[in-house]
A and B are shown apart, each in its own frame.
Chain A
Amino acid sequence: MNPICEKARQLLDSYLSNELQVETLHEMNEHLRGCAECRNELAWRRQSRSLLAETVRAMAPPPGYETRIQASLRGRTVRPVRWWPYALVAVAAMVAVGWLTLSQYRSARLAVDALLAWGRTDHVQCARAYAREGTPVAADMREQVGAEYASLVDAVTRESARYVVREGHRCKFQGREFVHFILERDGRLTSIVMTKKRGEGETFPKSALLAAMKADRIPVYSAGDGEMHIAGAEMARHLVFVVSETSQNESLRLMAALIPSFRAVER
């Protein structure tokens, strides 16, 4: 091959990609006009490149893949707490007292998270989706939540030094009824949620390792991520939750403050 063609072959790919400088491009055009071999080579390179592009571009993701991605993004947004910090605590406790095995701990932790997820569900589906402006009057909230839960209105209103009370109502998701109060502070929402237990099976696993604290002798469980902090507890007939967008401490504080009122509802 003569040196001019050799040089041209080195630049043919850049020529095809339109990445040549103007002067070089001009020289290349000149050469191609007079050289059939390089024109053929150019045609072959163009053809093989478009063959590759067509083949790869035909590779499509399976049906439903985009939906799966979206679901994983949403799952990530409201995902429950990572279990490993708790597992570390559990392992440390096991070393100390030789109590639960790791697998027992993990399955108990999953059971706790599954129950706490009810509080999160109501917060996401109701408070985040429909929280209103303004403050309802206590009498309206009592009517909304019904006589059985009316005493909670006073307990929630006592928090009005820290929060603006936005809602007090009953709502229903996935066949489950919730008594739901929505509070707001600095644009962050907090839900106080009470829902009747579904039979005896719906109970937090009994292990001191799993509870974040005890309030009024009732274990309080906790989960959360960077955005939502859920505190949950089990009463005789109800599961109760505080879902705070502020901090874990705040969800636990509020839960501790409200437990006597939750207890009063059941009397």
Chain B
Amino acid sequence: MPAPERLAEFEAAALPVLKDLYRTAAAQLRNETEAQDVVQEVYLHAWNSFERFEAGTNCRAWMFKILFHRIHHHRRKWYRLRLFQENEEFLEDQLVAPVEVADRLTDQDVLRALDTLPEEFREVVLLADVEEFTYREVSEMLSIPIGTVMSRLSRGRGRLRERLAETARRLGIGPEGAAA
């Protein structure tokens, strides 16, 4: 464990990303209490290994890497089988109307759609499209090849769009025939 006087230094580097870590954990785990516990674990782990953190490198990416280690560990511990309903509905492949869906879908619609993604797709989508890490950073964070990141992203984004489009169509708000 680093010397206590480094705690202020650690907090200055690590606490600014607390909200980012929390929202990613909450979205990935889909449980706020679990997210709070996991993020707290992340900070304790990060503090314990702060001596190994190289000053000047990307603290945010380092914290996210620890987050996903903890999430995977947590998942192994508390694995719950999620029902994943594969929707075979074929979506028309032509777009005939302007898309104005975003304002009409609620946060719950979006989170429900996200929830249907398998975890390995959800994590890359969150890291790339919400936290805006590059493919390479995601690859390093999750210790998977960059090609795997890209294929998971492509499939994850596609499935997410399918779900959103289904919801939109059910509500009668388009996107008319948006492709996944």
A residues sitting closer than 8 Å to B (CB atoms) are: 1, 9-10, 13-14, 17, 19, 37, 40-41, 43-45, 47-53, 55-62, 65-66, 68-70, 72-74, 76-78, 128, 225-227
Contacts and interface: CB of A to CB of B under 8 A. Distances in A.
B13 interface: no
Interface string B28-72: 000010001001100110011000000000000000000000000
- Tell me if A's interface is mostly helix, strand, loop or mixed: helix
A265 B160 CA distance: 75
B101 A47 contact: yes
Given A9-B179, A52-B160, A69 B15 contact: yes
Nearest to B97: A40
Contacts of A60: 19, 22-23
Given A51-B105, A52-B125, A227-B1, A72 B44 contact: yes
A56 B22 contact: no
Contacts of A128: 4
A1 B102 CA distance: 26
Given A51-B102, A51-B164, A37 B15 contact: no
B178 A74 contact: no
A73 B105 contact: no
A54 to B, nearest CB: 8
A44 B135 contact: no
Contacts of B150: 14
Contacts, number: 122
- Tell me if B's interface is mostly helix, strand, loop or mixed: helix
Interface in B82-141: 93-95, 98-99, 101-102, 105, 107, 110-111, 114, 125-126, 128-130, 134-135
A19 B32 CA distance: 32
A37 B97 CA distance: 10
Given A17-B128, A60-B23, A69 B95 contact: no
A74 B7 CA distance: 8
Contacts of A19: 134-135
Interface of B: 1, 3-4, 7, 10-11, 15, 18-19, 22-24, 26-27, 32, 36, 39-40, 43-44, 47-48, 93-95, 98-99, 101-102, 105, 107, 110-111, 114, 125-126, 128-130, 134-135, 150, 153-154, 157, 160-161, 164-165, 175, 178-179
B1 A77 contact: yes
A43 to B, nearest CB: 5
Contacts of B11: 70, 73
Nearest to B27: A56
A14 B154 CA distance: 9
A43 B178 CA distance: 10
Contacts of A70: 11, 15
Contact of A69 (B18, B160, B165, B178): B18
A41 B130 CA distance: 20
Contacts of B128: 17
Given A55-B110, A77-B4, A227-B4, A65 B36 contact: yes
A59 B22 contact: yes
A66 B19 CA distance: 9
22 contacts: A13-B157, A41-B95, A41-B178, A45-B157, A47-B101, A47-B102, A48-B102, A48-B164, A49-B129, A50-B102, A52-B125, A56-B23, A60-B23, A65-B36, A66-B18, A72-B43, A73-B10, A74-B7, A128-B4, A225-B1, A227-B1, A227-B4
Nearest to B153: A13
A245 B153 CA distance: 50
Given A52-B125, A58-B107, A76-B47, A44 B175 contact: yes
